Structure 1
Amino acid sequence: MDITKAVKEILRKNQRVISSIYFVACGGSLVDMYVADYFIKAESAKTFTGLYTANEFCHVPPKALGEQSVVVLCSHGGNTKETVEAGRLAKQRGAQTVGLTYNKDAELLNVSDYSFLYDWGADSEVRNNPMAISLDLTVSLIAETENYEHYNEFRQGMDIIDTVVNNAVKQVQKRTKNFADKYQNEEMFYILGSGPSFGHAYGFSICSLMEMQWLDSTAVHSGEFFHGPLENTDQNRNYLLLLSEGRTRPLDERVKSFLQQHAKNVEYVDAKELGLDLIPSEVIEFFNPILFYSVLSEYRYALSKVREHDLEARRYMGKVSY
């Protein structure tokens, strides 16, 4: 579905009043919507938001969920039972639902008032992936309801993000190989980031490393690093730090300064170095996770090759009952 058309119809049905936008999914699909939730918290003065893992949304739905709510649901395969049930619940409460999936036969589509079948694969444009779609939809809704002042700059960013990402992916090929060779026998990683990029620090930890490589990992917010986790720092632990562009960059740079003094095994992935500064400064922070997703996909692929551990290998997911 076209985003402009969806926004127009959502606003028509709600008489241009939206009290809340909730983002509901599981795992990597939930990570994809972290930046949209972050955008509302950072830029909206009127719209309440919440980011929910789907099963919790079903068991403890927000009291404010109702006819002035929009619930955005994402499931790659489209049949995640918790997410489908969350869609049913949202509709029962009178909310409008938006479903994002790769599967044209997905059950999720049956509980979605508006559906987006996104592109997937090496040849797809990043502006058509679920992260970019959910962000674009959200920014467009807030632009219409609250006259978001940097909407034109956001559109400029969307127009060039694929070019930025493609250049960055080419730029990191040697680095990802070096990273994989260096860390192929390690078992534990700390992933750090801030702002809208913390969502993908978490995603890289639980999906790319834990799910896809069966490695131990944890995500630590750059702002929280100095309030506990720094005491675990030494020369033997392994860190990957996402340095974002935008307002939270000082949090990441503070961590970098500390790790340069007290740690040895650190991989820095810097959005500025990777060319994100081509995006207008007023909206640059919201494009960090779109860039980091594609770049870190190269890291996980390189690690999987040298470890000879296929990214699709699973022991439990889809194999046993749970």
Structure 2
Amino acid sequence: MELRQIITSIKEKQPSIKSVFFVGCGASKAELYPAKYFLEANAKELRVSLYTANEFNYATPVAVDETSIVITCSLGGTTPESVEATSKARELGAHVIAVTHVEDSPLTKDAEYVVYHGFEANYAAKMEKMTKVLGLATEILNEFEGYEHYIKMQDGFSKIYDLIEKSVASVVPQAKAFADAYKDDEVIYVMSSGATHEVAYSFSICLLMEMQWINSGTFHDGEFFHGPFEIVDKDVPFLLLMNDGRTRAMDSRALDFLNRFDAKTTVVDAKDFGLGSEVAPEVVDYFNPMLISGVLRVYAEQLAIVRNHPLTKRRYMWKLEY
């Protein structure tokens, strides 16, 4: 079913939806964040929450019932915690949408609706999960409250994949420079703001810690001056993700401070790839995460090459019981 059809179908069954819960683990949880951020910024009545799956399972919100939409997400559809969350939400009467890459995977078993996304074809395909969940959020808002910039969001969806492919094709030299400069660092700090906040988080915990075994810390750059900036010094490694949109001032303030003390700083800036020329200013905030994530994938690949440490290499994950 198309995204709009799914939400229309839910409204036919339940005209009054009060809450939307996004549930996942790791990178999949982070890829739910732009949709959560979008709804929080624009919904006047809907209650919106983002949960790591086992938090949802062990401390299930009492608001999960027939007036709820629960969107669960897992790339391969086998993450046990997310599978359990899907079943639990359905048992409680929620309207459950599972988002996954693999047909008939365990995540889909108890879901009322399933959204499938690509992954292998190209860099844009790797961003389909995040983009389609944002599409679901757009449809939820428009269906249950109305959304004045709905057409501009749809125009953004029609352009973002091509922009991602165009951007990643041009960024290899910068990605190689990053890899060469950071390959021997023992820790890399990553930060951003707005809808891109958990892109920084997922790059930190997944691409660096999980896939490269590099220590990393991540924080919202609005919080940077309320603790983390005390570790800034000459040559301390930072990766700053800069947004095109309303929160850019926070990114810029953090960059000014990093440069002031000669921190080792790499910037990935959505403006450098022309996001604002493709997407309307009223909605540009919400498309930063897809573009920046696509570009960062190239950075991670180049880091893996220069360190001779494939992104698929693991010590514990899938190797033992935990």
Fold-level match, TM-score > 0.5?
yes
Q: Which residue is equivalent to 1:11?
A: 11
- Matching of residue 261 in structure 1 with residue 260 in structure 2: yes
- Matching of residue 314 in structure 1 with residue 308 in structure 2: no
Q: CA–CA distance in 1 between the matches of 2:110 and 2:313?
A: 30
Q: How many pairs are equivalent? A: 321
Q: Which residue is equivalent to 1:223?
A: 222
Once the two structures are TM-superposed, the CA of residue 124 in structure 1 deviates from its matched residue by 6.6
**DSSP-derived class of the 2:271 partner:** coil
Q: Which residue is equivalent to 1:97?
A: 96
Q: CA–CA distance in 1 between the matches of 2:146 and 2:266?
A: 40
**DSSP-derived class of the 2:234 partner:** coil
Contact 1:126 1:161 in 2 (8 A): no
**DSSP-derived class of the 2:188 partner:** strand
**DSSP-derived class of the 1:70 partner:** strand
What is the percent sequence identity of the aligned residues? 39
- Matching of residue 288 in structure 1 with residue 288 in structure 2: yes
Task: Please tell me the residue identity of whatever aligns with 2:169.
Answer: K
Q: Which residue is equivalent to 2:87?
A: 88
**DSSP-derived class of the 1:84 partner:** helix
**DSSP-derived class of the 1:74 partner:** strand
Residue by residue over 1:240-275, the C-alpha shift from the partner in whole angstroms, topping out at 9 and shown as x without a partner, is 001101111100000011111113310011111111
Task: Please tell me the residue identity of whatever aligns with 1:250.
Answer: A
Contact 1:127 1:161 in 2 (8 A): no
Contact 2:127 2:294 in 1 (8 A): no
Task: Please tell me the residue identity of whatever aligns with 1:153.
Answer: K
**DSSP-derived class of the 2:109 partner:** helix
Q: CA–CA distance in 2 between the matches of 1:234 and 1:136?
A: 41
**1:167 to 1:247, Cα distance in 2 relative to 1, 3 A:** same
Q: CA–CA distance in 1 between the matches of 2:67 and 2:208?
A: 39
Q: CA–CA distance in 2 between the matches of 1:50 and 1:288?
A: 21
**DSSP-derived class of the 1:23 partner:** strand
Residue by residue over 1:2-40, the C-alpha shift from the partner in whole angstroms, topping out at 9 and shown as x without a partner, is 11211111111112x110010000000001100011011
Contact 1:246 1:281 in 2 (8 A): yes
**1:32 to 1:11, Cα distance in 2 relative to 1, 3 A:** same
Task: Please tell me the residue identity of whatever aligns with 2:201.
Answer: Y
Once the two structures are TM-superposed, the CA of residue 105 in structure 1 deviates from its matched residue by 3.0
**DSSP-derived class of the 1:311 partner:** coil
Instruction: Using the TM superposition, name which of 182-191 and 297-306 deviates more.
Output: 182-191
**1:124 to 1:3, Cα distance in 2 relative to 1, 3 A:** farther
Q: CA–CA distance in 1 between the matches of 2:308 and 2:124?
A: 28
Task: Please tell me the residue identity of whatever aligns with 1:9.
Answer: S
Contact 1:168 1:274 in 2 (8 A): yes
> Alpha carbon RMSD of aligned pairs, Å?
1.2
Which ranges of 4 or more aligned residues in structure 1 deviate by more than 6 Å? none
Once the two structures are TM-superposed, the CA of residue 128 in structure 1 deviates from its matched residue by 6.7
**DSSP-derived class of the 2:222 partner:** coil
Task: Please tell me the residue identity of whatever aligns with 1:45.
Answer: K
Where does structure 1 lack aligned partners over 5 or more consecutive residues? none
Q: Which residue is equivalent to 1:67?
A: 66
Once the two structures are TM-superposed, the CA of residue 209 in structure 1 deviates from its matched residue by 0.2
Q: CA–CA distance in 1 between the matches of 2:313 and 2:104?
A: 24
**DSSP-derived class of the 1:272 partner:** helix
Q: CA–CA distance in 1 between the matches of 2:5 and 2:231?
A: 50
Contact 1:58 1:89 in 2 (8 A): yes
